[in-house]
């Protein structure tokens, strides 16, 4: 069975969830089978992320995430997945693209880190584990859909995933603080002379920019490593990650240019810039 045949079930609503995101922009240029697979992966990630970010009591969030683990296990055990239909489609794309169970489970584990307690100033090792689970694992699923070679694909997922997640952390400082979260690493805060992990206090501290500087530098390093890997990959297979990288490098540059003094307007990429990125990468 071809990948196209494997996921030729009725068009899912997964694409609707991705519409309007930078993710959607990169996925639209893919061939149909790959595009639909990526939308299903996105829908899975949104579903478990919504659980972690919900206002449900923490035990209920953990219960729902554990239910997702059982569903993933059922897919890989070969037992028919239970309704709803999106799980059937997820099973189909997992088979079609040989997606690894461990990567789906890693995403759930990352969401569990948020569900267990509000993360505040994690140490660097914990932050790196979080990035690996919520971003790099998604990348490892994605590169199999894109058709990248195993070693290059995993290396790209590890570097680009970290670059994107660190950029998200810097972009979402205020939104995260509103719900009691702070993902800036403890070591960077302490080096800047910030000795609290209270999100509001950290964001109001005059040394916030100094605490963010090493996170910006680390994101740049991961972008550079990812760019070097993509330069060695077939251009068609790397089109979607190149688009994601280009969008997020603009976001990171704009964050650095805006600075961290309040008020901090949310950084957005204009539609014109998005269209230019898409057009410049759509033809190979």
pTM of full prediction above 0.85: yes
pLDDT in tens, 73-116: 988 887 655 546 668 899 999 999 999 999 999 999 999 999 99
Give the Cα separation of 130 and 140 in Å (integer): 15
Give the mean model confidence (pLDDT) for residues 267-282: 86
pLDDT in tens, 13-52: 444 444 445 566 668 788 999 999 999 999 999 999 999 9
**Looking at beta carbons, which pairs linking 265-270 to residues 24 or more positions away fall under 8 Å?**
266/171, 266/174, 267/171, 269/22
Q: Do 185 and 121 meet the contact criterion of CB atoms below 8 Å apart?
A: yes
Q: Which helix (H) or strand (E) holds 183?
A: none
Q: Which helix (H) or strand (E) holds 108?
A: helix 101-116
pLDDT in tens, 151-186: 999 999 999 999 999 999 999 999 999 999 999 999
For 88-101, give one letter per residue: b (16+ CB within 10 A) or e: ebbbbbbbbbebee
Distance of CA 102 to the CA centre of its chain: 16
Q: What band does 140 get if pLDDT is binned at 50, 70 and 90? A: very high
pLDDT in tens, 205-254: 999 999 999 999 999 999 999 999 999 999 889 999 999 999 999 999 99
Average pLDDT score, the chain: 89
How crowded is the C-beta side of 165, counted as CA atoms within 13 Å?
Answer: 22
In order of 46, 130, 184, 206, the CA distances from 166 in angstroms are 18, 11, 9, 21
Q: Is 37 helix (H, G, I), strand (E, B) or coil?
A: helix
Give the Cα separation of 55 and 62 in Å (integer): 12
Q: Which domains does the chain have, with CATH numbers?
A: 1-99 (no CATH), 118-284 (1.10.600.10)
The predicted structure's pLDDT at residue 17:
45
Q: Do 65 and 59 meet the contact criterion of CB atoms below 8 Å apart?
A: no
């Amino acid at each position: 069975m071809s990948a196209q045949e494997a996921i030729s079930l009725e068009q899912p609503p997964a694409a609707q969830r991705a519409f309007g995101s930078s993710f959607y922009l990169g996925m639209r240029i893919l061939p149909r089978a790959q595009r639909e697979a990526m939308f299903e992966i996105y829908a899975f990630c949104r579903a478990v992320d919504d659980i972690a970010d919900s206002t449900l009591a923490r035990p209920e969030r953990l219960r729902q995430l554990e239910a997702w683990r059982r569903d993933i296990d059922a897919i890989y055990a070969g037992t028919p997945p239970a309704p709803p239909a999106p799980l059937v489609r997820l099973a189909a794309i997992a088979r079609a693209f040989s997606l690894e169970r461990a990567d789906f489970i890693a995403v759930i584990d990352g969401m569990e880190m948020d569900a267990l307690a509000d993360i505040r100033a994690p140490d660097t090792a914990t932050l790196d584990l979080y990035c690996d689970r919520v971003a790099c694992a998604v990348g490892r699923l994605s590169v199999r859909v894109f058709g990248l070679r195993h070693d290059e694909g995993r290396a790209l997922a590890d570097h680009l995933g970290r670059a994107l997640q660190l950029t998200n952390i810097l972009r979402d400082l205020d939104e995260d603080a509103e719900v009691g979260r702070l993902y800036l690493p403890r070591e960077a805060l302490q080096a800047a002379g910030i000795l609290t992990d209270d999100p509001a206090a950290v964001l109001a501290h005059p040394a916030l920019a100094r605490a963010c500087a090493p996170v910006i530098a680390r994101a740049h390093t991961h972008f550079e490593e990812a760019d070097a890997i993509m330069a060695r990959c077939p251009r068609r297979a790397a089109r979607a990650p190149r688009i994601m990288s280009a969008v997020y490098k603009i976001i990171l540059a704009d964050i650095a240019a805006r600075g961290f003094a309040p008020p901090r307007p949310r950084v957005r990429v204009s539609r014109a810039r998005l269209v230019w990125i898409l057009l410049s990468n759509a033809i190979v």
